[in-house]
């Protein structure tokens, strides 16, 4: 869902979560937002900011999972010039950028232990210290953090600081997944459908067929509202007749009759009674090719000749399909291509 959108839904569990956010917004306290991907955690953070006394201040967002561990602290707290390699000048971190406003920390559970320590001090004392600096800087920031992890379990496992969790969990808002929001799928589907139809400049919105709507309501939506939006918009833009209701729904955008599947690979030979069972998900090694021609006078040459014979035999048995050949030899596609190039087999029929 986009930042410019309002909340859309009528289920009681959804409205209860929005109401809790509205009540917590005016209080200058940290809030944790918990929910699966695509449930609208960032929208809740925006609501908490815009309904607070900080609404005129900045709302700064940082995805803690989007940066390498060694850069998170510099991104959050800033750094002084020369504090580490590449730090050519002093840089303010997200805390200083959010001074007077709200800092939204998404994917909170991915913070390193060192970053958790520094974050605790910032929440406790309202001050941060840039990397390489000797004096702290006062900041006035409200923290809203989000995660799809169960933080108490991470505390029990020693992966998250208990004292930091205590400081951040003044209020915890848990967003319900879409599959638990009774009646909201048709409402959201109509909204996204109408908007896509307007973007495509259709004269009117024909709606969904009854069968298509039943499919939408029966689906489990592991990606929640974000996934629903993608499915609906894809169905609308692929629809050929704006005068008729949208009837075709494709939930998996990767589904295709031409997609490479395991079934396209040649079936392995049945195992013998004395053979060890194959590991799950792996094909057995192909039968050995014919012995390479005699007359090779050194070990390295014999190995090279045998490897070439192995590749030629596997290519022939797999009809020169390189992906099937790679799978039959337990090689990656790139490894096979490298071997073919080394033996100058890419210039033959194998390159087809």
Give the residue among 123, 159, 158, 156 at the shortest CA–CA distance from 141: 123
pLDDT along the chain (352 residues), means of 10: 66 96 96 96 96 96 88 87 74 93 96 92 91 89 96 96 96 96 96 97 96 96 96 96 95 82 56 42 45 59 82 84 83 80 68 40
**What is the structure's pLDDT at 274?**
43
Cα dihedral value 149, 154, 160, 166, nearest 10: 80
State how far the Cα of 207 lies from the Cα of 169, in Å rounded to an integer.
42
Q: Are 110 and 151 in contact (CB under 8 A)?
A: no
Q: What CA–CA distances, in Å, run from 173 to 30, 101, 150, 273?
A: 11, 20, 13, 58
Evaluate whether 46 touches 3 at the Cβ level (below 8 Å).
Answer: yes
**In the block, which residue shows the tokens 């989000």?**
146
The whole-number pLDDT of residue 35 equals 96
Contact predicate 106/40, CB 8 Å: no
Q: Distance from CA of residue 217 to its chain's centroid?
A: 24
Q: What is the pLDDT of residue 73?
A: 86
Q: Show the tokens assigned to 220.
A: 């489990």
Run of H or E including 32: strand 31-34
Contacts of residue 49, Cβ cutoff 8 Å, sequence gap at least 6 = 25, 55, 59, 101, 102, 104, 142, 144
**What is the per-residue pLDDT for 327?**
83
Walk me through the domains of the chain, giving residue ranges and CATH numbers: 12-176 (3.40.50.300), 182-238 (1.10.8.60), 283-351 (1.10.10)
Determine the pLDDT at residue 298.
Answer: 66
| C-beta atoms surrounding 69 within 10 Å | 13
Rounded Cα–Cα distance for residues 317 and 325 (Å): 8
Check: CB of residue 310 under 8 Å from CB of residue 299: no
């Amino acid at each position: 869902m986009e930042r410019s959108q309002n909340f859309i839904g009528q289920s009681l569990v959804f409205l209860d979560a929005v109401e809790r956010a509205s009540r917590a917004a005016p209080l200058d306290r940290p809030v944790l937002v918990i929910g699966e991907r695509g449930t609208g955690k960032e929208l809740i953070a925006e609501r908490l900011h815009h309904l607070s006394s900080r609404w005129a201040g900045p709302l700064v967002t940082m995805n803690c999972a989007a940066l390498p561990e060694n850069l998170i602290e510099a991104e959050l707290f800033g750094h002084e010039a020369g504090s580490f390699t590449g730090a050519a000048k002093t840089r303010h971190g997200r805390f200083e950028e959010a001074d007077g406003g709200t800092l939204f920390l998404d994917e909170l559970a991915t913070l390193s232990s060192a970053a958790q320590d520094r974050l605790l001090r910032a929440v406790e004392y309202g001050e941060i210290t840039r990397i390489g600096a000797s004096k702290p800087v006062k900041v006035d920031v409200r923290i809203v953090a989000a995660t799809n992890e169960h933080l108490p379990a991470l505390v029990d496992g020693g992966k998250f600081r208990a004292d930091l969790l205590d400081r951040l969990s003044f209020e915890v808002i848990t967003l319900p997944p879409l599959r638990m929001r009774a009646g909201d799928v048709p409402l959201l589907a109509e909204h996204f459908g109408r908007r896509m139809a307007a973007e495509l400049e259709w004269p009117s919105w024909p709606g969904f067929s009854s069968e298509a709507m039943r499919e939408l309501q029966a689906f489990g939506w592991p990606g929640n509202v974000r996934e629903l939006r993608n499915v609906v918009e894809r169905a609308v833009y692929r629809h050929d007749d704006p005068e008729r209701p949208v009837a075709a729904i494709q939930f998996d955008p990767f589904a295709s009759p031409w997609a490479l599947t395991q079934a396209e690979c040649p079936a392995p030979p049945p195992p013998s009674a004395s053979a060890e069972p194959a590991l799950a998900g792996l094909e057995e090694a192909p039968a050995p090719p014919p012995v390479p021609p005699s007359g090779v006078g050194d070990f390295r040459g014999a190995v090279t000749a045998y490897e070439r014979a192995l590749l030629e035999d596997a290519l022939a048995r797999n009809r020169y399909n390189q992906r099937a050949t790679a799978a039959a030899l337990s090689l990656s596609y790139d490894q096979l291509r490298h071997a073919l190039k080394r033996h100058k087999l890419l210039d033959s029929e194998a390159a087809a």
